[in-house]
Amino acid sequence: MPSAFPPQPEALRATRREFDATRFADRRAAGRALAQALQDLGQAGDLLVLGLARGGVPVAYEVARALGAELDVMVVRKLGVPRQPELAMGAIGAGGVLELNPEVIADAGVDQEQLQQVLLREREELQRREQAYRGHRPPPRLQARTVVLVDDGIATGASMRAALAVLRRAAPARLIVATPVAPVGTAQALGLPPHDLVALLQPRNFAGVGSFYQDFGQTSDEEVRSLLALSRSAAS
C-alpha cells in the first residue's frame, strides 16, 4: 500500500522516528519533535519563535527552548460558522486584518448580519487575549528578524493566513511556518515557498488536527501565560 505521506527531507524522516508513526503524545512532545527538524535555525541570529494562541504556544515553547530563541505569542481569532463553530469561515488578526472564505460562507448560508455578529464577538476576544497574554509588554520587534510561526496543526489555514498577513506588514527578514501536521498542499494554499513550511506530517487524508494527537485537550489562558513567563525567565 502506498504511503499516506509524501516524500520528505531526511531531517524530517529522522524526526518522525521520535514519535508514533502518525500520532504525537501531546503538544509539548510535538514541539520537541518539531524542534529537531528546525535545529539548523539555532545558528540564525536574532531568531523569534511565535506560538499561535492558544494551542500553538506549548509547541512553540519547546521549539524556542531547544533553539535558544525568544518566544512570544501571536493572537488571531478564527471566525466560526454559526451552529458549526469548528468550521472556519475566516479569521481576524491585529491591525484590522480580516481573511474570509467566501465558499464556506456561501455553503453554510451565513448572511451579513450573522457574519457581523461573529466579527464583533471575536474582535472583543482578540483584544481580551492580547491583554491577558502580554499585559503591558510591547509586541516583539519583527523587522529584519527570522520569525518562526508555530501552530499545533493546520486545517483550513484561515488562522494561519491571518497571522501571516499581520506578520508580513512588519517586514521580517524571513518568515517560516512550522507545525507538526498540515494537509498536502498547505504551502501553496498559504502562499509560501515550499522550503518555508516545515510540517512533520503531511497526510493526504486529513481528518482534523486532533486525530494526530493522543492528548489534544484544550490549552488554557493560564498555560499560555505560564509558558511565556517560563521562557522569559530562562532568557534572563
Collect all residues with Cβ–Cβ distance below 8 Å to 95 and sequence separation of at least 6: 166, 169
Rama region for 154: left / alpha / beta (φ>0; ψ in -120 to 50; rest): beta
pLDDT tens per residue across all 236 residues of the chain? 333 333 344 444 444 444 445 789 999 999 999 999 999 987 777 899 999 999 999 999 999 999 999 999 999 998 999 989 888 899 999 888 898 999 999 999 999 999 999 999 999 999 999 999 988 888 899 999 999 999 999 998 989 999 999 999 899 999 999 999 999 999 999 999 999 999 999 988 888 899 999 999 999 999 999 999 999 998 87
Do β-strands 97-100 and 84-93 pair in parallel, antiparallel, or remain unpaired? Answer: antiparallel
Q: Which helix (H) or strand (E) holds 223?
A: helix 221-235
Write down the pLDDT at residue 143: 93
For the stretch 86-96, pLDDT in tens is 888 999 998 88
- How many angstroms separate the CA atoms of 70 and 64, rounded? 6
Looking at CATH, the fold of the domain delimited by 10-76+135-235 is given as: Rossmann fold (3.40.50)
Cα–Cα–Cα angle for 177, 179, 50, rounded to 5 degrees = 55
Collect all residues with Cβ–Cβ distance below 8 Å to 120 and sequence separation of at least 6: none
Q: How far, in Å, are 19, 20, 30, 203 from residue 15 at the CA level? A: 8, 11, 10, 16
- How many angstroms separate the CA atoms of 208 and 72, rounded? 26
Domain boundaries, the chain: 10-76+135-235, 79-133
| Residue 75 main-chain phi, psi, to 5 deg | -105, 120
For the stretch 149-180, pLDDT in tens is 999 999 989 899 999 999 998 999 999 999 99
